[in-house]
């Protein structure tokens, strides 16, 4: 449990602006249900576990890979003959199909549009060009080399489970860990999201660490009556390795400086309208959320500073109620983020403002203005920003929205009307749009 709690990749994504931690938690609790169903040979638990695994598809489009793997691995783990397993588990399989298939079929276009599965794609695609299995090893076993403390202990664990004839547990763990590795090694893909990311190994981390722990206790058993002390010391050492990676990520996340910009905007007059933010990414924001840099900063500020009225104008559809609603003059607030010193210097000249914490710019309208005038002011500021920081291509989505609002011709875009769900600019075209 401690090793899973400190595992670097799950910890990293716990602070990431993506749903992978929720998917991880959902899959873990669902897997507990099907494993308990296997041990107790309970059809009711199989149904509950199968339904829970099937519903994970509502969390993330990659969920079926892990849900089907977890259910299949639990069937392999179950005691008894194949006939006994099928007789007990088939209601759970029906529940799994019924809960995940309708939504999955309805949203099947996501796999082809975003992941490019089977469309003249290439198998085994990774960022660094290494084989999928090598990257997978580093994702679940933190270390600077393929052979490290975790991989050695995992190898010892496999041998120990074989010697103890714990075949059911070993088969479950091997099937769970191997499934995403085999999938991304064999299935041809072409989309950016189908590159083998570290996050795709998060759901298999506990299974890998179970084998690692089996190796730990196998080695500790040679210490006789001191075996518990030895096991605790080895696990403490492994936790220390994981914590080193976690603390490094924590330092990177703190370098974003969210507290400084939050403190600055918290002093704005109550009722000030916070509009959509933009900016370049850089190493700091990439450490927080790949593909979603400063364009989600407005969400964070709106959550932290309740006195601001939030109007997310990266899609014109969501701004129309504000534009055509009450015409009471109010102050407007626009936030920008410059990743490099050169961009900061250029933004200082363009916006005639001083940076906050060396990177942030919070520009408030000089006077209270009605909604349409605020949109016009935002358009002016963003044009100035784009001229000063040309690398920030994504500011164009805000400019498009502003111009459509002022022209009275709104064409919404983005998944579910929210462009922030898409890490790409220009956005990947979806067939459902």
State residue 427's pLDDT score.
57
Q: Which of 23, 18, 65, 70 is nearest to 184 (CA)?
A: 65
The rounded distance, in Å, linking the Cα atoms of 433 and 391 is 28
The CA-based diameter of the chain, rounded to the nearest angstrom, is: 80
For the ranges 139-143, 201-205, 348-352, 408-412, the lowest mean pLDDT is seen at 408-412
- Beta strand residue intervals within 141-272, DSSP E: none
Residue 111: band (very low, low, confident or very high) from pLDDT cuts 50, 70, 90: low
Query: Please, what is the average pLDDT of the chain?
Result: 87
Q: Which of 191, 61, 193, 184 is nearest to 121 (CA)?
A: 191
For the chain, give the number of residues: 433
- Tell if the pTM clears 0.95, that is, is over it: no
Higher pLDDT, 47 or 429: 47
State residue 292's pLDDT score.
53
Across residues 197-225, what is the average pLDDT?
Answer: 93
Which pLDDT tens digit goes with each residue over 387-420? 999 988 889 989 999 999 999 888 766 555 555 5
State residue 312's pLDDT score.
87
The rounded distance, in Å, linking the Cα atoms of 133 and 80 is 32
Give the other-Cβ count within 10 Å of 280's Cβ: 21
Q: Are strands 273-275 and 309-311 parallel, antiparallel or unpaired?
A: parallel
Which pLDDT tens digit goes with each residue over 330-367? 999 999 999 889 999 999 999 999 999 989 999 999 99
CB 55 within 8 A of CB 22: no
What is the H or E stretch that residue 334 is in?
strand 332-337
The rounded distance, in Å, linking the Cα atoms of 212 and 234 is 11
State residue 283's pLDDT score.
59
Residues above pLDDT 90, as percent of the chain: 60
Three-state SS at 270 = coil
Residues above pLDDT 70, as percent of the chain: 88
Work out the burial of residue 416: count CB atoms within 10 Å of its CB; fewer than 13 is exposed, 13-18 middle, 19 or more buried.
exposed
């Amino acid at each position: 449990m401690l090793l899973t709690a400190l595992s670097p990749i799950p910890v990293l994504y716990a602070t990431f602006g993506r749903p992978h931690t929720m998917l991880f938690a959902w899959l873990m609790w669902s897997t507990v249900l099907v494993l308990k169903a296997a041990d107790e040979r309970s059809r009711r638990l199989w149904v509950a576990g199968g339904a829970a695994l099937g519903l994970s598809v509502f969390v993330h489009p990659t969920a079926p890979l892990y849900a089907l793997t977890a259910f299949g691995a639990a069937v392999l783990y179950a005691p008894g003959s194949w006939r006994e397993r099928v007789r007990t588990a088939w209601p759970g399989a029906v529940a799994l199909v019924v809960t995940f298939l309708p939504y999955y079929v309805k949203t099947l276009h996501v796999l082809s549009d975003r992941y490019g599965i089977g469309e003249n794609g290439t198998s085994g695609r990774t960022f660094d060009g290494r084989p999928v299995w090598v990257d997978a090893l580093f994702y679940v076993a933190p270390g600077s080399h393929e052979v490290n403390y975790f991989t050695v202990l995992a190898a010892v664990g496999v041998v120990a489970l074989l010697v103890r004839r714990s075949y059911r547990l070993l088969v479950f763990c091997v099937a769970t860990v191997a499934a995403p590795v085999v999938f991304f090694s064999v299935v041809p893909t072409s989309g950016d999201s189908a590159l083998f990311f570290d996050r795709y190994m998060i759901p298999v981390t506990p299974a890998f660490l179970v084998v690692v722990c089996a190796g730990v206790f196998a080695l500790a058993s040679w210490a006789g009556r001191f075996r518990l002390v030895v096991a605790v010391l080895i696990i403490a050492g492994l936790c220390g390795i994981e914590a080193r990676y976690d603390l490094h990520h924590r330092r990177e996340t703190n370098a974003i400086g969210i507290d400084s910009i939050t403190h600055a905007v918290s002093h704005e007059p109550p009722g000030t309208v916070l509009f959509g933010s933009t900016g370049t990414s850089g190493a700091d924001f990439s450490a927080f959320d790949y593909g979603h840099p400063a364009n989600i900063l407005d969400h964070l500020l709106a959550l932290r500073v309740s006195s601001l009225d939030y109007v997310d104008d990266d899609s014109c559809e969501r701004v129309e109620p504000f534009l055509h609603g009450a015409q009471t003059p109010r102050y407007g607030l626009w936030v920008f983020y410059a990743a490099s010193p050169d961009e900061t210097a250029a933004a200082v000249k363009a916006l005639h403002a001083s940076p906050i914490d060396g990177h942030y710019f919070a520009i408030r309208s000089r006077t209270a203005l009605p909604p349409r005038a605020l949109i016009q002011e935002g358009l002016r500021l963003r044009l100035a920003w784009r001229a000063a920081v040309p690398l920030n291509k994504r500011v164009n989505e805000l400019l498009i929205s502003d111009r459509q609002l002022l022209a009275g011709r709104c064409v919404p875009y983005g998944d579910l009307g929210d462009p922030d769900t898409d890490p790409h600019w220009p956005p990947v075209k979806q067939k459902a749009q």
